[in-house]
Amino acid sequence: MNAIEVKGVRKTFRLKGGLLGADRHVVAVDDVSFAVPTGGVLGIVGESGCGKSTLARLILGLLEPDAGEIAIEGQRVTDMDRRARARLIQPVFQDPFASLNPLARVRDIVAMPLKAQGDLPTHEIAKRVDDMLSRVGLSKEMGQRLPAELSGGQRQRVAIARALVLRPRIVVCDEPTSALDVSVQAQILNLLAELRRDLGLTYLFISHNLAVVEHVASDVAVMYLGRFVERAPTESLFRAPEHPYTKALLASVLTPEPGLGVPDVGLGETLPDPADIPLGCRFHPRCPIAEPRCAVETPPLKPRPTGGVECLLAS
Amino acid sequence: MSTLLEIEQLEVEFGRTAAVRGASLTVERGETHCLVGESGCGKSVTALSVMNLLARGARRRARRLAFEGLDLPGLSESGMAHLRGNAMAMIFQEPMTSLNPAYTVGSQMTEVLRRHKRASRRTALDRAADLLARVGITAPGLRLGQFPHQLSGGLRQRVMIAMALMCEPRLLIADEPTTALDVTVQAQILRLLASLQRDLGLGMLLITHDLGIVARVAHRVSVMYAGEVVESAATAELFANPRHPYTQGLLRCVPVPGRIKRDEPLGSIPGTVPRIGPGFEGCAFRERCGFGDETCHQAIPRHAAGPTHEFLCRLPA
């Protein structure tokens, strides 16, 4: 069975126009379908505003889709009771400074999901919090501290402990290491990988950095203005990227190799506007190899053995 | 090349915390010097000490702190204000918080030129438009009339860069200029900084925690840890032959596509940067270092590993 199944999901937001301006519609997620098998890790990459965080919130049940269906562990997300949902799927967010209550002690932050379930005795809660803290590499003494007394990496460990304390099956990680130093990022990525193996978790792993995604994901989806423009097993996406946007993202990863200079990713200055999605291929205004027909024809999904690509110029 | 910025034995303390402990580095004319290290290692404090923008209550001492031979601690506040934003300019990590949200791009860009060079409003606006075009902004005339919140993160950072260049600085200090940006925009901004540095012959002190950036833009690198420069070398030399265990650890942490198989752990440095008080003895990295022993509690010698290469570790190998 698939841990996550998403079919034809669409989410639009309305932006209020000014005094005379008309309302504008932002299509954040535009007819996206995919499945993640149990134990798999789907990496989703794309720039700010591409809809990846909206997709995460839809799957977590924090937003309702305008169209389409989302099922986790075979049940429709929107039909589920909040407590039942919390036992199946949990988030880890980007900013460990904003996502932890500054007035609560670490122990209480991690205990909160257990208390919210309402049916666990206090000593059982205490025991599970202790286990979880040591599992993510935090000492008992750390449990007594406030978030402000911890480093960024330690705070992200607290967020992971809070996400895992209910023993969920699925974890949605939304840029879990973007706010961290490279050295701490490596610690957190290793911890997430180890926990996934040991606990048999399924991850949806969102990042704007392809190098980070490569490290944790079994499959990667590249998202651009609300759509998956390419999806492939990680190894083949990195070996033979097909979509020009995927290639640009790969080119923008700065590896520590001196003498290579900073590459020209060839995307130009125009930034994508989710309230004004171009006709034809939505990537064509920034595409270095666009042809006239790319401005008119909508690229169909060209399926591959696993995944596919939406580019008119792909063979 | 001649020396633009000299920092020798800089010490900065905030109360009981020693933020910078005897750091030394130089920036030559036309050179990009990268200062790399984790959050809290003292790299931003070093930059702010140069600009004399440290928070109230900070104590700054240095054997020498000089810009173009001019002793900076000896300057009055008005002397310093004359240099700041003029011959030496700085750009910060978060362009949204460093631009004034209540003023248009045009009015904050022209302010420095009108103040430092007594330029007319018209001249200043023309120069601002030229520079916006120079940093790759189309329709500069339109942008001058806009407010920061109307621009994307990448555009704001371009505005910050253009603003820093208004008075033709000789030294540009860039503190994590791309950390808040998408990787695609980061590549564009770094390309821009590198080309400006080359074309204008700027000396640049670039602060970052990302060794990928260092490799691609730096001529020279200083690795900072717990307030000290623990290793310093020409860029190619540092990456080919890192000598300090901390530098080696940092290099292992960078995820490189195709280098490490999935499910193999990335190299990482256990623990976090310690908080250090005045009077600390020995190597600050010893608790996190795989090679540490009791001799690391003693004063650490500085070794030369080549004409341009120095490191601070008791292990000569």
Give me the interface pTM, i.e. the ipTM.
Answer: 0.84
Q: What are the tens digits of pLDDT across the range A249-283?
A: 999 989 889 988 999 888 876 778 888 899 999 99
CATH entry 3.40.50.300 includes domain B85-213: yes
* Tokens representing residue B69 in the block: 């031979």
Q: List A72's β-bridge partners, or say none.
A: A4, A75
Q: List B256's β-bridge partners, or say none.
A: none
* Tokens representing residue B96 in the block: 């949204």
- Residues of B within 8 A of A214 (CB-CB) are 255, 257-258, 262
B105 contacts B148 by C-beta, under 8 angstroms: yes
* Beta-sheet strands, E only, within A145-260: 170-174, 202-207, 219-224, 227-233
Residue B222 three-state SS: strand
Parallel, antiparallel, or unpaired for β B220-225 and B32-36? parallel
Q: What are the tens digits of pLDDT across the range A114-153?
A: 999 998 999 999 999 999 999 999 998 999 999 998 888 8
CB within 8 Å of B57: residues ≥ 6 apart: B14, B15
Among B residues 161-220, those touching chain A with beta carbons less than 8 Å apart: 182-188, 190-191, 194, 209-218
A178, B38, B101, B132, B196 from B156: Cα distances, Å: 20, 25, 11, 11, 17
The CATH classification of domain A2-309, taken from the options 2.60.120.260, 3.30.479.10, 3.40.50.300, 2.60.40.420: 3.40.50.300
Q: What is the pTM of this model?
A: 0.88
CB contact under 8 A, A184 and B272: yes
d(CA A278, CA A296): 9
Residue in this structure with the two tokens 């492939």, named with its chain if needed: A232
Q: What are the tens digits of pLDDT across the range A75-94?
A: 999 999 999 999 999 999 88
Q: What is the pLDDT along chain B (317 residues), one digit of tens a residue?
A: 589 999 999 999 998 889 999 999 999 999 999 999 988 899 999 999 999 999 889 999 999 999 999 999 999 999 999 999 899 999 988 777 889 999 999 999 999 899 898 999 999 999 999 999 888 888 888 899 999 988 888 888 889 999 999 999 999 999 999 887 888 888 988 998 998 899 999 999 999 988 999 999 999 999 999 999 999 999 999 999 999 999 999 998 888 877 766 667 888 888 777 878 888 889 999 988 888 888 899 988 899 999 999 999 988 65
Nearest CA in chain B to A50: B182
Confidence at residue B316, expressed as pLDDT on a 0 to 100 scale: 64
Confidence at residue A114, expressed as pLDDT on a 0 to 100 scale: 95
Of B153, B184, B253, the CB nearest to A182: B253
Domain with CATH 3.40.50.300 in chain B: 85-213
Among B residues 240-299, those touching chain A with beta carbons less than 8 Å apart: 249-258, 260, 262-263, 265-270, 272-273
